[in-house]
Structure 1
């Protein structure tokens, strides 16, 4: 009779095969069939790589991804250097705001920037009144700005952690050899923390090319692969979405190529150093202190500006979609009266997904950490896939996989819960594995030697010990689950609509008041979870990395 962990491992493989690999393989297979003739071949890929409509979107996607990544680096690296090398007053507030920016949905930022710098934005109108005409937020520059200010915390948090642990002797040696501060940073410090910087940069790039809401709201004619994948899917709903899935596979290929390029670069050099003689933070005075503090505060203020704008806008008085001046709670009244289904669905779907994540991540983490075999290693690698697969791609794969009897669950709450579960599962697993690695296996071995079964040992000994990791992983999963847009936008119906989908629809329709009220509710939910993680995690903001 197979043992407890043999059965659990088999079930884990089956679960990931059905809900992760099968949808992706279906998408891959569909991309090789011609929608009109049904012939097998590469005609779809030839069309995507040769037609101007698609190639323009491809180049836009790569340019936006690269510039968004570069912008995040230009903000995140200097901020990390300042907070790791100097005593910054309010450094905890800066880190907290950075995490809040990271957890807020990016399409809310896009909507807020429209309120400020759109054609009829508040700042745009103020500048017009004094005779200054400036470009609006629409187009590639606006999208890149939003991505830079949205994703820089990945760079900041990872780089700061790396800067705090490098050996200061290398920097001292460079200074003694006559290097200027800038030369020392570029030739010594930055190469030492390159693994952390490059990891954050890859995350920024992948998220930028996968994001749907921001280019859809700010694009104004700028097509990206994510937006045309969605438009192609909606236009092909009567038949097989061959072009939509072909575009989706191209997005996956770009993400994988970026990851492989990073690993190839890292493999060429060694970056390890002794964790001794760590840098000591310096106190600043005079103009240098003013400059450094001003830069740090300005970055987090600009990054938080969209969220602050959304909250402020939600309390403005409106008459229908028009702001009338003054303040009021009319937007919240309309939201609670007209949108209770979307609010309830968002919390119910996120909670349902998180329950599944907590259970499965606990079991998967034990297999990955405790079982030294090929299957465990393969499961660990497989859990990287949801990081690289855009939500639009997964959603199309789920429709292709689960739209035929007896597994037809399209249009139901179950399909949304399952896709959110599989996309956010890595958050729970990573959080739980990190704490499980700190638990000595001898504790579990002692329980087994005393006659406890593997199942009893796990539930009575291991689970209580790794509960903090499970809770933090669940909270992180909830933060990202309740803000999910790209996949739910394809899968939702009138009965399963969620807050992010409704916000997107209202922004497109010009209903900014109710969109702001719903966005504020989302931000409040996110903020509560962030606060809970900060209270429970010893490493504070590093828990989010």
Structure 2
């Protein structure tokens, strides 16, 4: 019996070794690098890094930015969540897709779009000359908070909307019966019931803001506002390179993120309410007068205009401008920049090929490794399975730049044994580590919907484990595998922080090509690539949704 259990747990043990090597060792290397000097435990360099006035100021900047983004994203998302859950606007399902566009847009592309729109003599001032001087207002901390909030508010919107949909209308009606007005019902009934879900959304937005690199590296640097990610990146890439300081700041960032996760668990445990029961919940649409309806439509259009319209107008129009000096003048538009990407610009074509290769390879490896992980965890009864599953999901809890720094340190340390560092292989490995949780989550979601009776029926009729896997399990979870593959492909195709840190010399991908062209003044060519990047990602997402809908119908 024990020997049978050992054989059953062997795949789990092998996966544990692989995941420890890929994920745990790089993370451990970060903490080791922060406190180890010449093979000895030495906290003084880490303390000096933290006491450095510039670093202390940077940490304060990061925390302030996180708080402000949470507040502004809440102000943007809360009215929309109420409209799309408690009023007649809930019927318009198209807005569920439209309001996800900012979240699916790479942050650095949206940030560049805003810079082009708001800069001196930019697109806004070309359209409205009276707007001259507005760049002084935008290129501040307020502008940075606005751009980052416009990227993450869809996440907050989804969290709040789903929470509001689960609040029965009968609770508000009961308050009204006892004489409570609208504001009193909001304050005493509605908002307290939202507090647990809001805490989850707010803390996740806070962590995501601290972990974001794209917008701070483009807009933040322009206004001189340094945060964790830009400082970590600078220490790891700009001479004199200081991996010790980079590791120390990464450790602090991990510590803050973990504290936020624990705070979230504490709040949600104390502020959770069972609102969904077997009795069902009746929702009544809140009536709206003509004035309120007009105001609601105006707010929806305004948010879509600034969140989607401005950045996409900037990126697309700039990609079509022939001579930047003439701007939006009639006759100054061309598709030559797109043609150049596929003909004359060898680096652009090479960047596209590299991104496709990295996205396909990493998505495929993630699909295989993630599926094996889920199957091994679900079939095992060992206590080790929880540990293995936690390790597989660990990259989701950690900032991407921290994991990449850990991968750099670890694989550089073992270069003499496995010379993978400074090759395309290290980029594939980093992408796999970063995006493995997508496959694990989607496959787990599909797997939990499979009844154990199906497996038992296969065994009763003499099916071998391989046969059951091939004819029952895999067909039932293939949608989860395909979804995980596609999501990994979309995100890996446009990934910036990994490529900017560990790409081999003279190797460009789509993201680094766009940033380089933007910084070097070839803005139109860079924006042409940005348009192709967005079209590529959007097309892939539409194909995914079409396949899923087709599966549901059949």
User: Normalised by the size of structure 1, how large is the TM-score?
Assistant: 0.92
- Counterpart in 1 of 2:186? 185
The alpha carbon displacement at 1:370 in A equals: 4.8
The alpha carbon displacement at 1:129 in A equals: 4.0
Change (3 A) 1:514 1:186: farther
Q: Does 1:388 align with 2:397?
A: yes
Counterpart Cα distance in 1 of 2:130 and 2:289 = 40
- Counterpart in 2 of 1:330? 336
Counterpart Cα distance in 2 of 1:417 and 1:323 = 40
Change (3 A) 1:329 1:173: same
> Which of 19-28 and 411-420 deviates more?
411-420
Q: Does 1:356 align with 2:365?
A: yes
Counterpart Cα distance in 2 of 1:304 and 1:502 = 23
Q: Does 1:20 align with 2:20?
A: no
Q: Does 1:296 align with 2:307?
A: no
Please list the CA deviations of residues 401-455 of structure 1 after superposition, one character each: whole Å capped at 9, or x if unmatched. 1121221212211111111111111111111211211110111122123333323
Is the 8 Å Cα contact of residues 86 and 284 (structure 2) preserved in structure 1? yes
SS at match of 1:487: helix
- Counterpart in 2 of 1:118? 119
- Which ranges of structure 2 fall in alignment gaps of 5 or more residues? none
> Which of 274-283 and 219-228 deviates more?
274-283
Counterpart Cα distance in 2 of 1:153 and 1:465 = 31
* Correspondence list, 1:300-379, <5 A: 300-305=304-309, 306-318=311-323, 325=329, 326-336=332-342, 337-338=344-345, 339-379=348-388
Is the 8 Å Cα contact of residues 66 and 210 (structure 2) preserved in structure 1? yes
* Correspondence list, 1:167-316, <5 A: 167-219=168-220, 220=222, 221-235=224-238, 241-275=243-277, 276-282=280-286, 284-305=288-309, 306-316=311-321
**Equivalent of residue 12 in structure 2, options 6, 9, 26:** 9
The alpha carbon displacement at 1:133 in A equals: 4.5
Is the 8 Å Cα contact of residues 121 and 132 (structure 2) preserved in structure 1? no
Q: Does 1:48 align with 2:43?
A: no
The alpha carbon displacement at 1:235 in A equals: 3.4
Cα RMSD between the aligned structures? 2.5
SS at match of 1:270: coil
Counterpart Cα distance in 1 of 2:321 and 2:533 = 18
The alpha carbon displacement at 1:494 in A equals: 4.0
The alpha carbon displacement at 1:267 in A equals: 2.0
The alpha carbon displacement at 1:151 in A equals: 0.4
Aligned residues: 536
> Which of 410-419 and 306-315 deviates more?
306-315
**Equivalent of residue 458 in structure 1, options 466, 469, 474:** 469
SS at match of 1:179: coil
The alpha carbon displacement at 1:9 in A equals: 1.2
The alpha carbon displacement at 1:118 in A equals: 1.9
Counterpart Cα distance in 1 of 2:161 and 2:77 = 9
Counterpart Cα distance in 2 of 1:82 and 1:60 = 34
- Counterpart in 2 of 1:543? none
SS at match of 2:534: helix
- Counterpart in 1 of 2:487? 476
Counterpart Cα distance in 2 of 1:27 and 1:536 = 41
Is the 8 Å Cα contact of residues 152 and 205 (structure 2) preserved in structure 1? yes
**Equivalent of residue 437 in structure 1, options 448, 455, 459:** 448
Counterpart Cα distance in 1 of 2:99 and 2:18 = 35
* Correspondence list, 1:49-64, <5 A: 49-64=50-65
**Equivalent of residue 408 in structure 2, options 368, 384, 399:** 399
* Correspondence list, 1:139-158, <5 A: 139-158=140-159
Counterpart Cα distance in 2 of 1:535 and 1:195 = 34
> Which of 358-367 and 209-218 deviates more?
358-367
Counterpart Cα distance in 2 of 1:356 and 1:134 = 45
Change (3 A) 1:509 1:4: farther
- Which ranges of structure 1 fall in alignment gaps of 5 or more residues? 541-545
Is the 8 Å Cα contact of residues 12 and 377 (structure 2) preserved in structure 1? no
Change (3 A) 1:350 1:189: same
Change (3 A) 1:309 1:134: closer
Counterpart Cα distance in 2 of 1:90 and 1:67 = 32
SS at match of 2:82: helix
> Which of 222-231 and 269-278 deviates more?
269-278
> Which of 13-22 and 332-341 deviates more?
332-341
The alpha carbon displacement at 1:212 in A equals: 1.4
> Which of 189-198 and 257-266 deviates more?
189-198
Please list the CA deviations of residues 289-344 of structure 1 after superposition, one character each: whole Å capped at 9, or x if unmatched. 1111221232223211213321232122237x985842101221232232111101
> Which of 276-285 and 96-105 deviates more?
276-285
Change (3 A) 1:389 1:31: same
The alpha carbon displacement at 1:66 in A equals: 1.4
SS at match of 2:355: helix
Is the 8 Å Cα contact of residues 442 and 480 (structure 2) preserved in structure 1? yes
Change (3 A) 1:441 1:118: same
